[in-house]
Amino acid sequence: MALLEIDDIHVFYDKIEALKGVSIAVDEKQIVTLVGANGAGKTTTLRAISGILHPRAGEIRLGGESLADLPPHEIAGMGVVQVPEGRRIFARLTVDENLQMGAFSRNDRRAIAEDKERMLALFPRLKERLKQVAGTLSGGEQQMVATARALMARPRILLMDEPSMGLSPVMVEHVFETIRAINQQGVTILLVEQNALMALGIADFGYVMESGRIVLTGRGQDLLEDENVQRAYLG
Amino acid sequence: MTDVVASRIGLPKLSSLARFTFVDVILWALRLAVVIVVVGGTIGTLLKGRYAAAQWFDLVMFGLTIGSVYALIALGYTMVYGVLRLINFAHGDITMTGAFAGYFLASSFDRSGLLDRSPILAMAGILALAIVTSTTIAVLTERIAYRPFRHVRGFAPLICAIGVSFFLEQTFRGLFGPSIRSYPDPKWQRAAIDVLGFSVPRVDIIVIALAVVAMLVLYVIIQRTKMGTAMRAVSEDTDAAAMMGVDVNKVVVFTFALGGAMAGIAGVFYAFVFKQVYFFMGFTPGIKAFGAAVLGGIGSVPGAMIGGFFLGLVESVGPALFLDGIGIPAPYQLRDLIAFTLLIMVLIFRPHGILGERMAKKRA
Ligand SMILES: Nc1ncnc2c1ncn2[C@@H]1O[C@H](COP(=O)(O)OP(=O)(O)OP(=O)(O)O)[C@@H](O)[C@H]1O
Ligand SMILES: [Mg+2]
């Protein structure tokens, strides 16, 4: 059984059906990527998983347990944590406070302090920025804050929505290295990306989305070599 | 949600362009009138020299006293707005409930003589009861009246808030009658004490000092505690906070509780100063404090404090300083006029308030 199962969900914005029956399975310890053009419904899928949007039909399960009707913070408490599109760090809070918010539902002070140290080891650049207001950081640093903040919640599965968006090629490289490192530490990852080439490159499994539907699935490497995918997404 | 709001605000652009000149003329006339009144009045008053230094000092002290009450109330508006983008129109009445609770305890302390025998103990009791009352009612209001409408778009939440305001007023009127009750006026409050060579009623000093302490405590809670940090996080981005595991409902309750506590303190102080308690007493300070919150930049905690003190000072010093000089008789009766003129000017010329702009810039 997969860790996260999305089973034929339909999600609406008022009368517009943004997801028309999407099914995705993410196995434990895998990196699964969801690629697709602008407006395909990738963000909508992640927002539905996090409980910000509620599917009108279909079900989302974590370890076999339904997440339906759970509020977002309880879903996060179960270990499904998101690095949202556009990062959405708390710009007026300090970096330290952003990390503290990631650990909001935890009470184990010592473990939280240890995790913070691990984050600073993973992103050494945040060390001297801890007391700085997060909105003053560069885009790459803000991505680090967003990722570290989510990891502070000790996720079982990390949902990442276009983490490389708007970053320099060097930072993009860094983001993908980080994703691999996080995954190697045992965190399952569902990665949404426009950068299909790099995403499929590190993914165990990939889904291609178009107009609210999954149109193609396969092992990351196979999709990279697929003619249709190459024509549509890899130029 | 913010996108939706932004696109809605963007709508009336064209129509305001068409009326540009007409509106412009009126606005400039308004600006000019205010400048004439303020500058001309100030020069006139100072030339006349009718007021002695001691009188100015009195006015300033009273401005700070009433300003600290406005500041305390304004904090409740601004915090709730920050977290929910809701104007809690019942907040003035929540202040009133605290004043009432404090009044009953103060009266019984007065009868038993405790109010005179141990003022500090009595005051602590009065404040504690007022805080508990206002906090409880604020939290219940949120739970019963606001939460079910939280995700409803349009005017429903606002109308609900106005409904709660009427409900509280009429409930207190029904329970305790429409008459104005006079608050106990112990000697130790009236006694004048010496500040910088001027004599000031002790009650002013008590109110200002305790209000400042309350605000400092609030500030530390918001800046240093986990719930306070969560409050700031939710104000910035509710969904992102929820996705990090922040229980938004808990934060909302916490916000209403803090605002309620400040309102309870404000209610007691308002009654200390004006010596009156009645069911409608929350209305005027409520509206003014809301204005003070807008003045400071709604959503901003330091802004609400600054806005409150500023409004208090202007409405206290303003009549003598601006109106006397241009020959208006009995300027003190126009105190509320000055306050509301200031608020309308803010809404027209600087709707994001004193600290509001910086906030908006940062968010972008
Ligand atoms: N708040 C909203 N209200 C109405 N429609 C929306 C809303 N958000 C997204 N949509 C629509 O839903 C569809 C899917 O959008 P979604 O944001 O999920 O796409 P996406 O794959 O994440 O795109 P991108 O690559 O641009 O981030 C689009 O057609 C979009 O216009
Ligand atoms: Mg998207």
Q: Would you state the pLDDT for residue B18?
A: 56
Q: Would you state the pLDDT for residue B111?
A: 85
CA of A40 to the centre of ligand 1 (A): 7
The CATH number of whichever domain residue A209 belongs to comes to 3.40.50.300
Q: Would you state the pLDDT for residue B4?
A: 47
User: Which of B4, B153, B227, B243 to substitute to test the interface with A, most A CBs within 10 Å?
Assistant: B243
- The boundaries of the domain holding residue B146 are 55-363
Contact B181, B103 (CB under 8 A): yes
d(CA A148, CA A169): 20
d(CA A8, CA A70): 18
Structure tokens at B50: 């009718």
Q: Would you state the pLDDT for residue B244?
A: 92
> Is residue B7 domain-resident?
no
pLDDT tens-place string over residues B120-146: 888 899 999 999 999 999 999 999 888
Contact B160, B145 (CB under 8 A): yes
Q: For ligand 1, is residue A44 a contact (CB within 6 Å)? A: yes
> Is residue B44 domain-resident?
no
Does residue B2 register a pLDDT over 80? Answer: no
d(CA A80, CA B251): 21
State how far residue A24 is from chain B, nearest Cα, in angstroms: 20
Nearest C-alpha neighbor of A32 from the set A234, A208, A204, A233? A204
Structure tokens at A29: 């310890």
Could you tell me the pLDDT band of residue B76, with boundaries at 50, 70 and 90?
A: very high
Across chain B, where does the E strand assignment appear? 181-182, 192-195, 198-201, 276-277
Q: For ligand 1, is residue A230 a contact (CB within 6 Å)? A: no
Give the per-residue SS3 of B190-227.
HCEEEECCEEEEHHHHHHHHHHHHHHHHHHHHHHHCHH
| Angle at alpha carbon of residue B89, lines to B309 and B151, rounded to 5° | 125
* One domain for residues A129 and A174: no
* One domain for residues A74 and A183: yes
Domain final residue pick, A116, A132, A154? A154
User: Which of A16, A75, A104 to substitute to test the interface with B, most B CBs within 10 Å?
Assistant: A104
Q: Which residues of B touch A (CB under 8 A)?
A: 226, 229-230, 232-233, 236-237, 239-249, 359, 362-363
Does residue B360 register a pLDDT over 60? Answer: no
pLDDT tens-place string over residues B235-288: 999 999 999 999 999 999 999 999 999 999 999 999 988 988 889 998 999 999
> What is the helix (H) or strand (E) element at residue A179, kind and residue range?
helix A169-184
| Angle at alpha carbon of residue B210, lines to B208 and B213, rounded to 5° | 110
* One domain for residues A74 and A162: yes
> Is residue B140 domain-resident?
yes
* One domain for residues A103 and A53: no
CA of A93 to the centre of ligand 2 (A): 25
Number of structural domains found in chain A: 2
> Is residue B42 domain-resident?
no
The CATH number of whichever domain residue B308 belongs to comes to 1.10.3470
Cα B356 to chain centroid distance, Å, stands at: 17
Lowest model confidence (mean pLDDT) among A38-42, B184-188, B227-231: B184-188
Task: Locate the ligand 1 atom nearest the alpha carbon of residue B3 and give its number.
Answer: 1
Averaged in consecutive runs of 10 residues, what is the pLDDT profile of chain A (235 residues)? 91 92 94 92 95 93 90 94 94 95 92 94 93 93 95 95 92 93 94 90 92 90 81 68
CA of A42 to the centre of ligand 2 (A): 5
Could you tell me the pLDDT band of residue B11, with boundaries at 50, 70 and 90?
A: very low
d(CA A207, CA A192): 10
pLDDT tens-place string over residues B22-68: 777 888 888 888 777 777 777 777 777 777 777 888 889 999 999 99
> Is residue A115 domain-resident?
yes
Query: What share of chain B has pLDDT > 70, as a percent?
Result: 90
> What is the helix (H) or strand (E) element at residue A57, kind and residue range?
strand A57-62
> Is residue A162 domain-resident?
yes
> What is the helix (H) or strand (E) element at residue A192, kind and residue range?
strand A188-193
d(CA B156, CA B44): 49
Could you tell me the pLDDT band of residue B10, with boundaries at 50, 70 and 90?
A: very low
> Is residue B15 domain-resident?
no
Contact A191, A33 (CB under 8 A): yes
State how far residue A82 is from chain B, nearest Cα, in angstroms: 6
- The boundaries of the domain holding residue A164 are 4-79+156-234
Domain final residue pick, A154, A187, A207? A154
Q: Would you state the pLDDT for residue A228?
A: 77
Q: Would you state the pLDDT for residue B285?
A: 92
Which residues of chain B lie closer than 8 angstroms to A13, CB-CB? none
For ligand 1, atom 25, name the residue with the nearest CA: A38
State how far residue A61 is from chain B, nearest Cα, in angstroms: 17
Which residues of chain A lie closer than 8 angstroms to B240, CB-CB? 84, 88-90
d(CA B350, CA B364): 19
> Is residue A85 domain-resident?
no
> Is residue A210 domain-resident?
yes
Do A101 and B233 count as a contact with CB atoms less than 8 A apart? yes
* One domain for residues A129 and A15: no
β-sheet bridge partners, residue A216 = A208
Lowest model confidence (mean pLDDT) among A166-170, B81-85, B328-332: B328-332
Does residue B361 register a pLDDT over 50? Answer: no
Q: Would you state the pLDDT for residue B14?
A: 53
> Is residue B88 domain-resident?
yes
Cα A112 to chain centroid distance, Å, stands at: 21
> Is residue B46 domain-resident?
no
Nearest C-alpha neighbor of B29 from the set B300, B270, B348, B353? B348
For ligand 1, atom 14, name the residue with the nearest CA: A41
SS percent in chain A: helix, strand, coil, step 5: 40, 30, 30
Does residue B12 register a pLDDT over 70? Answer: no
Could you tell me the pLDDT band of residue B153, with boundaries at 50, 70 and 90?
A: confident
Is the model's pTM score more than 0.90? no
* One domain for residues A69 and A11: yes
Domain final residue pick, A154, A183, A199? A154
Q: CB under 8 Å to B151, separation ≥6 — which residues?
A: none
Do B239 and A149 count as a contact with CB atoms less than 8 A apart? no
> Is residue B5 domain-resident?
no
For ligand 1, atom 17, name the residue with the nearest CA: A43
Number of structural domains found in chain B: 1
* One domain for residues A227 and A164: yes
Q: Would you state the pLDDT for residue B246?
A: 94
> Is residue A34 domain-resident?
yes
